[in-house]
Chain A
């Protein structure tokens, strides 16, 4: 007996396969989102930890002006310090012949002979130095790939005012540079124009004139040590050597961006999958219920044969269990696949030598639980109602369903003009308002997801537009190796193609608001700056104060200050004054966390009248290459960045990281919209077979009958679209308010065209779903339904 029932179950699954597939896909998407996010989160976290541990990432970084190597013995004795290493770090200019502008690099010294060092190198090609390493370099893997440089090639480097070729002996990756940016002012890596590289200690000493000296110290600390206390001791010990202040790993730029991503993911992994899984569970619940209800006749037959209520219920629970199980399996597989794709993206984006892909069993277990749970719940509610019917009741052709007049009918002139098909559709929808509402809710979710996805695209666009058109108004920026006086401005103004030039000065500081501190650079600008737009919340330009700071929203959030608050500014350069300055404005910037002040004020802190660390330029586009080439030969120039390229790099980065998740979101929306409408129409087709068959017998064409089914879908779609648009706008608004990392925050923009696009997308899904059902209607001769019962 039981075996027969199981066979029936299997055949049921086969005959309803299209509906089952649609339902399974919906729950699979929910499960997939959970598995994807949690797996990616644990994958990136584990990869970071393993990379840092295996290559001995430093815990503390302490740059100085110049210190004798012997100071390392003193630092090593500081309580809490475990290991210390000194090195020589310099910014250099690289001349890549096929690039019109100078590229910049940062050289770090490593021991002549390979060994266990802090911030170790993961060699991807070549080997360590030969002999004392003179004129040899180990190049960063990313830059080498970007320019197709190989071991054995020469790299033309301007070091200490001397241009010389360095032979590439090795290519490597380092845990110190998972996110490679020049410094405080940069947000997006420019892999084409900036790199790190490693020189031998001997060669570094001779080329930079640092015999037995160092300018950077790396240290690891004991697990039990208080890092802040260790840093304070180091600062004290190194003060006489021009230390600008040691900082912990958590403040290291590259690590901070990596951690930002991990934290962002942790935050969204707690919300997004729950929303998705919730939507999927809801739709699953509804669809399972309807699926079981459509089996009314079969349930009656079981009961007539003498199967007990419990047996019938168990039978359908098996169906639900199978559907839930399938959903969990497909979802987990899909999630792991997405997660591995995201892992590959991360490995590239964060320049990791390996990515630890770990299957998150908790996520899979959670997905399984929700999937099976809601499928069972939906089926249970329905099957209990159906099983309660007397067998004879279920076997009789269903009595005509009770219909009533709808509200529309009050508008008599309109109602009179409607054809019978429209009347049937409206009365049918109005008769089962709960069911209609559920389908509409599904459509609303799908609409919201599509709208939200298009919002993310627009938000990126708006972000780029604000940042690179309204805020950064320069065409190019020239960064100097050292701070320079006014003469640098005049010098640069005379270079080819330069239309205007403005100075800027970055001063390293620690900003403090009580216990909240942030090590950053303050960007000094002329008070009448033309090449930088400082915009307040209403996008109005504001002028720099004579004696105060302006903060970008992200930095203000980190420090917990608002306009009018006072910040303690600990300058980390020169005489290291400590000042108290008011925050005169919080700027509505979407990218990065910056502080701004008057350049003259900043210069005074350094005991200078007017200095600059870089110059912003407006450039005649025809002269870009000529300008770049000219700047290549200026020893004082460390780097030149052209805005167009930055924007492109930014867009590429954004696209890279967004494309996959957007594709997944759209797929999910499609599956929901399609699944809901397809199932609704299929169930309608099953429930109303006699009605539709009668219409055919009377002489209605396939088209006219199809119109009744499609009409119902259309009404449900419209009912869902309207709240869906509102929900999507709300979701976008919430994201713009809630989601903010230091790297970026989303502006709220909503173009009417997005709404149109979203509506079109949902309509396309609806049309596909209906086309399939109508094809089925055409293939299955509905007249047959009427013939069978006599």
Chain B
């Protein structure tokens, strides 16, 4: 991977702040975060629960709006976009992968992927993507007929099929055993390398940080430490 500064900027956040108002209490989830993400960059977000990593991910994905600060995507200001615009932003540019897969249970693996493809403007072929995640032969299975790892790979395929600019993954391996987790990470890295999709992964698992270009450590709503991997490792090489 080439160094970040040599690449164009994908995200640019300045003083990003999010305060949740819970009844009468104000809970700051994110405090004045500055962050630059380059095109095709692979970032891992580490940190304890409540450190603000999910909030940051939601903000980047257009699922939430900041309370203060600015957030730009390829120079486009996302801070003040309305719900409709954010929906279109997610549709065109962002792929999400969750810890609990969240497949639509009434659609087959292929249809889950097609669903995302149908609403995208320039999608990749759904079968091709299923092949990419190694599930071509499971295309016609319903989620209930798939293992956890398989479901997560379908979820990745669903996120990837619309050829997003960034994949946002919230604990993608959290519910999986080691070998399945590695398989999923390999798929993610494969997508990152093959399609040039930026990859931002939240995890509790320190070891996964070794696979990224950059590791951001969060605490109390701030980025408290940043490290760059000059030679990221393959998922199969890391110790779980």
Contact = CB atoms under 8 A, between A and B. Distances in A.
A409 to B, nearest CB: 10
Interface residues of A, number: 32
Interface stretch (B113-121, B186-194, B222-230): B113-121
Contacts of B119: 698-700, 704
Given A699-B88, A699-B90, A789 B144 contact: no
Interface of B: 54, 58, 61, 63, 83-84, 87-88, 90-92, 94, 96, 98-100, 102-107, 111, 114-116, 118-120, 142-144, 151, 158-159, 162, 170-171
A683 to B, nearest CB: 16
Given A424-B106, A698-B116, A783 B63 contact: yes
B119 to A, nearest CB: 6
Contacts of A695: 104, 115
B142 A403 contact: yes
A22 to B, nearest CB: 26
A691 B63 contact: no
A400 B58 contact: no
Given A420-B114, A704-B119, A789-B100, A431 B106 contact: yes
Contacts of A789: 99-100
A403 B106 contact: yes
A211 B215 CA distance: 124
Given A402-B142, A697-B90, A700-B87, 9 more contacts: A397-B100, A402-B144, A420-B107, A420-B115, A694-B103, A697-B102, A698-B116, A699-B87, A700-B91
B27 to A, nearest CB: 14
Interface in A399-442: 399-404, 419-420, 423-424, 427-428, 431
A790 B171 contact: yes
Contacts of B63: 697, 783, 787
B98 A786 contact: yes
A427 B83 CA distance: 29
22 contacts: A400-B142, A400-B143, A400-B144, A401-B106, A402-B105, A402-B144, A403-B106, A404-B142, A424-B107, A427-B106, A428-B106, A690-B100, A690-B102, A691-B102, A693-B102, A694-B104, A697-B96, A698-B91, A698-B116, A698-B119, A699-B116, A699-B120
Contacts of B142: 400, 402-404
Nearest to A698: B116
A171 to B, nearest CB: 69
Choose among A397, A690, A694 the residue with the greatest number of B CB atoms under 10 Å from its CB: A694
Nearest to A428: B106
B202 to A, nearest CB: 9
Contact of A787 (B58, B90, B91, B171): B58
Rank and list the top 5 A-B pairs by shortest CB-CB distance, nearest first. Answer: A699-B91, A400-B143, A400-B105, A427-B106, A420-B115
A696 B116 CA distance: 11
Nearest to B90: A699
Contacts of A428: 106
B105 A420 contact: no
Contacts of A697: 61, 63, 90, 96, 102
A674 B106 CA distance: 26
A701 interface: yes
Nearest to A426: B106
A354 B209 CA distance: 89
A401 B144 contact: yes
Contacts of A400: 103, 105, 142-144, 151
B105 A698 contact: no
B99 A790 contact: yes
Given A400-B142, A420-B107, A694 B102 contact: yes
Interface centre among B99, B106, B159 (most CB of A within 10 A): B106
B106 A786 contact: no
Nearest to B95: A698
Contacts of B88: 699
B54 A790 contact: yes
A420 B111 contact: yes
